[in-house]
């Protein structure tokens, strides 16, 4: 009787291999099979053995290598064949990573699952750019939303952004005009500070700032591409002198 392998849902963090958890690094280095997302940094995949089999299931807007149900079926099929599977995801597998769906399908098929948390994209991006998601003087509430989904205009985001609040928007680059319009229609001030964090925690990271009303123009003029997060709230306007000093020293 064939032994059933285990599916490990592993968070790869925001991009820098140094930000992997110890367990994630050990699993990647010892893996024989890794099913990975497109946003996993190549430097992290390079930690895998030369003998490891790497399967990309990259997702892009309106173009998926494999639909989600086929990814789920792939994990189950490989595990039932007796192979342990590292399902490697950017950030944390349970924060907009569809890890919950994959876990449910594996459990339904009798496949054991272990979850290895990762530093979420929001936490990693904010910390790397010197933006405190919470601050005693600026924000005591943080909300995460997906900016790329069906029925975006009809979603109720009322109260998620504004005074003493921080709103983090995943997958919002392509829908920046609709996001800005939606938030201002909900009563958010056009001059509310906004930051776009592109390629967080990587050497090519960029942090772009401006008012909410100019968000679409900022994305277009600066040619922002994914992976990128949009952070909205007063915390984005706070100057972090320590991070600024570190950036100056790194550039020297």
H helix intervals, the chain: 22-30, 42-45, 68-80, 99-108, 121-129, 176-185, 215-221, 241-251
User: Which is catalytic among the residues 16, 41, 59, 60?
Assistant: 59
User: Which is catalytic among the residues 16, 37, 92, 105?
Assistant: 37
Neighbours of 191 (CB within 10 A): 11
Bridge partner residues of 85 (DSSP): 7
Whether residue 126 contacts residue 138, with contact meaning beta carbons closer than 8 Å, is answered with no
Q: Is 137 a catalytic residue?
A: no
Residues ≥6 apart with Cβ < 8 Å to 232: 161, 166, 167, 168, 169, 183, 188, 192, 193, 194, 212
Q: Is 51 a catalytic residue?
A: no
* Residues designated catalytic: 37, 59
């Amino acid at each position: 009787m064939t032994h059933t392998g285990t599916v490990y849902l592993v968070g790869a963090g925001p991009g820098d291999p140094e930000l992997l958890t110890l367990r994630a690094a050990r699993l990647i280095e010892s893996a024989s099979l890794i099913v990975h997302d497109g946003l996993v940094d190549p430097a992290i995949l390079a930690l895998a053995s030369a003998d490891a089999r790497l399967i990309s299931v990259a997702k892009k807007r309106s173009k998926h290598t494999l639909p989600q149900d086929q990814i789920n079926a792939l994990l189950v099929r490989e595990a039932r064949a007796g192979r342990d599977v590292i399902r490697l995801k950017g950030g944390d597998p349970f924060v907009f990573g569809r890890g919950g769906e994959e876990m449910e399908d594996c459990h339904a098929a009798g496949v054991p699952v272990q979850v290895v948390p990762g530093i979420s994209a929001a936490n990693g991006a904010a910390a790397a750019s010197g933006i405190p998601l919470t601050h005693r003087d600026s924000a005591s509430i943080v909300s995460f939303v997906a900016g790329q989904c069906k029925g975006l205009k009809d979603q109720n985001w009322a109260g998620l952004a504004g005074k003493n609040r921080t709103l983090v928007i995943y997958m919002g680059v392509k829908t920046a005009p609709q996001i800005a319009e939606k938030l201002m229609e909900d009563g958010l001030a056009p001059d509310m500070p906004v930051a776009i964090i592109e390629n967080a925690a990587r050497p090519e990271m960029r942090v772009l700032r401006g008012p909410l009303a100019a968000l679409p123009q900022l994305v277009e003029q600066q040619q922002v591409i994914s992976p990128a997060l949009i952070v909205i709230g007063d915390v984005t306007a706070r100057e972090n002198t320590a991070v600024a000093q570190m950036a100056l020293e790194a550039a020297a």
